[in-house]
């Protein structure tokens, strides 16, 4: 098991943990935070998170709402709610090469749709969805 200091930012030190014993997150790095301490190993981390983003929002949540407790309304409520609100748990890792291959197949299979571009674009979107895939977009500000 290896603990690596990721950064000291403001009040916190963030840690990465590789080789942890948690099967649910096997092969992935877990992250934690603690109030800044001059040490090369974590000393008082409360919880390990599956991403540095999650650890950071939990740290800020704890600062303003208090530590998570067995029956309390501290950091878990605020940080978890915020993560859900912005869709953090809805994000999934994508295998880029498989996506490119599927897109090429869809382009070939929809070549028969002639006419305005929106007709072919709709056919491509339908074909991707039929394969369980979707095109991602970002809303403009």
Average pLDDT score over residue span 121-138: 79
Rounded distance between C-alpha atoms, residue 4 and residue 23, angstroms: 20
Is the whole-model pTM more than 0.85?
A: no
Q: Is a pLDDT exceeding 60 seen at residue 74?
A: no
Least confident of 9-13, 24-28, 37-41, 131-135: 37-41
Predicted local distance difference test score (pLDDT) of residue 30: 93
Q: CB neighbours of 46 closer than 8 A, spacing ≥ 6?
A: 32, 34, 67, 68
Predicted local distance difference test score (pLDDT) of residue 100: 82
Q: Which of 18, 49, 10 is nearest to 32 (CA)?
A: 49
Predicted local distance difference test score (pLDDT) of residue 90: 74
Rounded distance between C-alpha atoms, residue 104 and residue 96, angstroms: 12
123 vs 75, more confident: 123
Predicted local distance difference test score (pLDDT) of residue 67: 76
Rounded distance between C-alpha atoms, residue 131 and residue 141, angstroms: 30
Task: Say whether 56 sits in a helix, a strand or coil.
Answer: helix
Whether the CA torsion 132, 27, 60, 7 is positive or negative: it is negative
Backbone torsion region of residue 110, taken as left when φ is above 0, otherwise alpha when ψ lies between -120 and 50, otherwise beta:
alpha
Predicted local distance difference test score (pLDDT) of residue 106: 86
Q: Is a pLDDT exceeding 70 seen at residue 137?
A: no
The 10s digit of each residue's pLDDT in 52-64 is: 998 998 888 888 8
Predicted local distance difference test score (pLDDT) of residue 2: 83
């Amino acid at each position: 098991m290896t603990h690596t200091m990721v950064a000291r930012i403001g009040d916190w030190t963030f840690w990465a943990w590789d080789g942890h014993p948690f099967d649910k997150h096997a092969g992935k790095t877990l992250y934690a935070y603690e109030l800044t301490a001059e040490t090369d190993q974590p000393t008082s981390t409360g919880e390990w998170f599956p991403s540095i983003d999650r650890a950071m929002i939990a740290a800020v949540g704890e600062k303003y709402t208090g530590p998570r407790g067995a029956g309390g309304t501290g950091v878990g409520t605020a940080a978890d709610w915020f993560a859900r609100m912005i869709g953090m748990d809805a994000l999934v890792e994508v295998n880029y090469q498989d996506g490119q291959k599927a897109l090429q197949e869809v382009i070939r299979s929809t070549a028969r749709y002639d006419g305005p571009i929106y007709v072919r674009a709709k056919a491509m979107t339908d074909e991707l969805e039929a394969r369980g895939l979707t095109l991602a977009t970002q809303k403009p500000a």
